[in-house]
Every structure is written in structure tokens, then in C-alpha cells.
């Protein structure tokens, strides 16, 4: 049986690439292909090559069946070069048409389409923005425009008589007060604790004399009688400073010079009361403290009472002159004692007690004439009523004392130790409930209030 292979001859005008056909006489037959392209050529062999030939435009005729005589070979139509060029241009046109259809269907976008859409959106956005701005401008200008129909001038009396009267005009509105729109100021806030105005340690000396007029100038906020309250906040406590006094004018000047600035920085609502003992009897410090407690409450609703000797100046403004939950001893370490506490029961110098604490112990004893003993009696009263002494630390509680000789009529009390030993028996019958005195005069000075009293004389 002979083998038959149909080979398509190349077009007469141009040859394409070579491809593999069948082996005939040891030659490879050319096959038309696309111009400018080259397909791989395999080694010739028997039968069809392993590299598939490019399919032609027309399908190849079927091979004759076994035993059937092959017919005459069918020749493809011949084309000239102009026909090939026209076919190629038609192919390009069809490819471009397919690309446009694909872009229209969403399969792809022509170059510049996205930019055109963005520009259109930008133009629409700008137009909307300009329209809104124009409407806003027209609305604002219409509010400021005067009314088109102003009130007509009043008609003559005859014309008015012929017109039916209309409804009466509304009554004119009463003008608002000038300050009605302003919010009424509320109560000031509480002062912070501790005060932010404190500076800490202070330099205290007594080498230069003090002029009270200068002290007044540097304390302009202190009112007559030695009263002060902060303006920008509400003081946490109302404090009365009680000073037992007699013939200590120079010491009082130093005390006022140093203490007024300290008390103001501590943001206290305070008043200074100097209780001056008149007469020539022995000095009675504890009874003067009871008098100060009574007299200060007549002027103001004090809740805290600080009892201070006139010759003691604190050396740190963080030693707050206020009351605590327990009785407070403020003059912890004095230079007189080498800045140390002389003994644990010591309660002299400067102390602070609330109104409730004072009432609970019946105030101070009235029968300690002369120097010494009354501060220990007070400590015993507090102890017997279940209270304990609180103190600042030794650094904050430093105090400096003005050196001076012992006062006349203030000699040590020889009966003080016997009285201290009987505090439990005498505290309920010797104190605020048995206090008797007579106010001689009350004088209001710019920096303090002086109350001169007659406290009587010791019992024989």
C-alpha cells in the first residue's frame, strides 16, 4: 500500500516560514505561514512530524480510505499581493472593532476614559459648590435688606376718621436690664488643700524694728480688726487667732509682720484677737484664752481656734494654723529648746482646737495665776476625754522665740504642780462654765482687734 500525503503548495507571491511536512526524497516541503514569524522545525522523520503544523484557513481534505484510489489533488485558490494586504487590513479592522465592543461591555477601558470621568465629576462638584455658595449669599443679603414696604406715613385726621379702627397694637416690650443676659455668679469653689501659695521654710529674724504702717501697706487685703478671707475661693476653715497679751507691744509688731502674710498664703478665713489683761494682778494666760474664745464667737461663726503666744513665730508656712480631727500642737520644735520637743506631754506655745474639742474639755482652767502649769493641765483634760495630740514633723513645726526677760507679775506659780495632779477632779468645775470677766474696751485696729478685760484676782 502506498502512502499518500497532501501538501498545500505555497502561494505564488510570498513564502512564509518553513514547517515540517512528510519526508519525500529527503527534502522538506515548505508550508506557508505568517510573515515575520518563525516556528520551530523538528528533525524530519517518517510520517507526520511531532510539531503540529499551523492550521490553514481551509481544512485539509480527508485521506482516502485503504484500497481507495486517491483523487486529483485539490488546489487552493490563488491570491495576489493586493488581496493579502486587503485581508490583513480587514483583520486589523475586525480586531479594533472587537476591542471597542469589549470596552463598551466593561471588559476594559480605552485610554483616557477614567480621566474623562474624573473631570466630569469634578466639574459637577464645583457647580454644586458654587450654587450652594450663591444661595447662602442671597439668603444672608435678604436678611440685611430693608423691608420693601415701609410703614406708610400717618394719615390725616379726616382720613383716619373714615377708616374702621383695626386691632390695637401690641404693648411695647419692657427693656431688659443690662445685666440680665449675664449668668449670675455662683459661690466660689473651695480652696485647695494644701494651698498652692505656700513657700515652705522662712527666714525669721528680729534684728530690725517693725513699723506697723509698713505692715499695713504690705497687707492691703486685711480688713479692719485683722480680718481676712480669700476672694477667689472659699476657705476650708474659719479660724480665730487668740493671743494672750500684756505689755508686749514690740513682740506684737513682729508677730503681725510675719503671721499676716503666712495666714493669707494658707488661704484661711481668719481674725486676729489680742486679749489684753488689764490691772496689776498676776498674769492668767489660760483665763485669757477662755475670754478670747467667748468674745470671738460674738463676732463671727468661727469653728477653729488657734491659741498663740505673742513671742513665737513659725519658720515654715506649711505649718498650717488650722484644726484637725485631734487637738493640734503647732510649736513642736522651738529654738528655745534646741529645736526639740521638751517632753511628750508638752502642749504649750501654739496649739489649735476646734469648737467641739474645746467645749468637750470645758475650755481651759481659770485658776492658774502666774507662769507655768496651765498647758500641762490642758493636756490632761484632752487625755481624760479620750483625745490624742497631733503634731507636724520637727522640720515643719520649727518656731523661733523672741528673747525677753520674765515679765513683771508673771512669776512661776508655786501651786501649779498640785493643780496639775488634780485635773480630773477640777476640770468639770473649772473652765468655760465658771468663767467670769469684764470687758473694759474693744478697739479695732487695721491689723488686729484688741479686747482689754478685767479677769479679777486670784482667790486667797
What positions carry a catalytic annotation? 309, 311, 371, 374-375, 401, 404, 406
What cell does 74 get? 485539490
Dump the DSSP string for 275-301: EEEPSSSPP-HHHHHHHHHHHHHHHS-
What cell does 181 get? 443676659
Report how far residue 378's alpha carbon sits from residue 358's, in angstroms, rounded to the nearest whole number.
10
Report how far residue 360's alpha carbon sits from residue 386's, in angstroms, rounded to the nearest whole number.
10
Cβ–Cβ < 8 Å for 254, 313: yes
Report how far residue 400's alpha carbon sits from residue 334's, in angstroms, rounded to the nearest whole number.
6
Torsion of CA 10, 11, 16, 20, to 10 degrees: -10
Report how far residue 334's alpha carbon sits from residue 311's, in angstroms, rounded to the nearest whole number.
11
Using DSSP's 3-state secondary structure scheme, residue 190 falls into: strand
At residue 307, what are phi and psi to the nearest 5 degrees?
A: -105, 115
Amino acid at each position: 500500500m502506498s502512502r499518500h500525503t497532501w501538501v498545500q503548495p505555497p502561494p505564488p507571491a510570498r513564502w512564509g516560514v518553513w514547517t515540517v511536512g512528510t519526508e519525500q526524497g529527503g527534502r522538506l516541503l515548505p508550508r506557508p505561514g505568517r510573515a515575520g514569524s518563525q516556528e520551530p522545525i523538528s528533525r524530519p522523520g517518517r510520517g507526520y512530524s511531532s510539531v503540529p503544523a499551523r492550521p490553514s484557513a481551509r481544512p485539509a481534505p480527508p485521506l482516502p480510505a485503504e484500497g481507495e484510489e486517491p483523487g486529483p489533488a485539490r488546489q487552493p485558490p490563488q491570491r495576489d499581493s493586493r488581496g493579502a494586504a486587503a485581508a490583513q487590513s480587514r483583520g486589523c479592522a475586525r480586531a479594533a472593532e472587537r476591542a471597542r465592543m469589549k470596552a463598551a461591555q466593561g471588559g476594559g477601558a480605552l485610554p483616557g476614559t477614567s480621566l474623562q470621568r474624573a473631570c466630569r465629576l469634578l466639574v459637577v462638584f464645583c457647580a454644586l459648590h458654587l450654587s450652594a455658595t450663591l444661595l447662602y449669599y442671597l439668603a444672608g443679603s435678604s436678611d440685611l435688606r430693608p423691608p420693601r414696604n415701609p410703614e406708610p406715613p400717618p394719615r390725616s385726621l379726616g382720613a383716619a376718621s373714615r377708616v374702621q379702627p383695626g386691632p390695637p397694637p401690641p404693648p411695647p416690650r419692657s427693656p431688659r436690664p443690662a445685666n440680665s443676659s449675664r449668668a449670675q455668679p455662683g459661690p466660689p469653689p473651695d480652696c485647695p488643700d494644701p494651698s498652692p501659695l505656700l513657700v515652705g521654710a522662712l527666714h525669721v529674724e528680729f534684728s530690725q524694728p517693725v513699723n506697723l504702717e509698713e505692715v499695713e501697706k504690705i497687707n492691703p487685703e486685711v480688713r479692719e480688726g485683722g480680718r481676712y478671707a480669700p476672694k477667689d475661693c472659699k476657705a476650708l476653715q474659719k479660724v480665730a487667732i487668740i493671743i494672750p497679751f500684756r505689755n508686749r507691744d514690740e513682740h506684737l509688731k513682729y508677730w503681725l509682720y510675719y503671721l499676716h502674710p503666712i495666714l493669707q498664703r494658707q488661704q484661711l478665713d481668719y481674725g486676729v484677737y489680742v486679749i489684753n489683761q488689764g490691772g496689776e494682778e498676776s498674769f492668767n494666760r489660760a483665763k485669757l484664752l477662755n475670754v478670747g474664745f467667748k468674745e470671738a464667737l460674738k463676732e463671727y461663726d468661727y469653728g477653729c481656734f488657734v491659741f498663740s503666744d505673742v513671742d513665737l513665730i513659725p519658720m515654715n508656712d506649711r505649718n498650717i494654723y488650722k484644726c484637725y480631727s485631734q487637738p493640734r500642737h503647732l510649736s513642736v520644735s522651738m529654738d528655745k529648746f534646741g529645736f526639740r520637743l521638751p517632753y511628750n506631754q508638752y502642749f504649750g506655745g501654739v496649739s489649735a482646737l476646734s469648737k467641739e474639742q474645746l467645749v468637750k474639755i470645758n475650755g481651759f482652767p481659770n485658776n492658774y495665776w502666774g507662769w507655768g502649769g496651765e498647758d500641762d493641765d490642758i493636756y490632761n483634760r484632752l487625755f481624760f476625754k479620750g483625745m490624742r495630740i497631733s503634731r507636724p514633723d520637727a522640720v515643719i513645726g520649727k518656731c523661733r522665740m523672741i528673747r525677753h526677760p520674765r515679765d513683771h507679775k508673771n512669776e512661776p506659780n508655786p501651786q501649779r504642780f498640785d493643780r496639775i495632779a488634780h485635773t480630773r477632779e477640777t476640770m468639770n468645775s473649772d473652765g468655760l462654765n465658771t468663767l467670769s470677766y469684764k470687758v473694759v474696751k474693744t478697739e479695732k485696729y487695721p491689723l488686729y482687734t484688741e479686747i482689754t478685760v478685767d479677769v479679777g484676782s486670784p482667790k486667797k
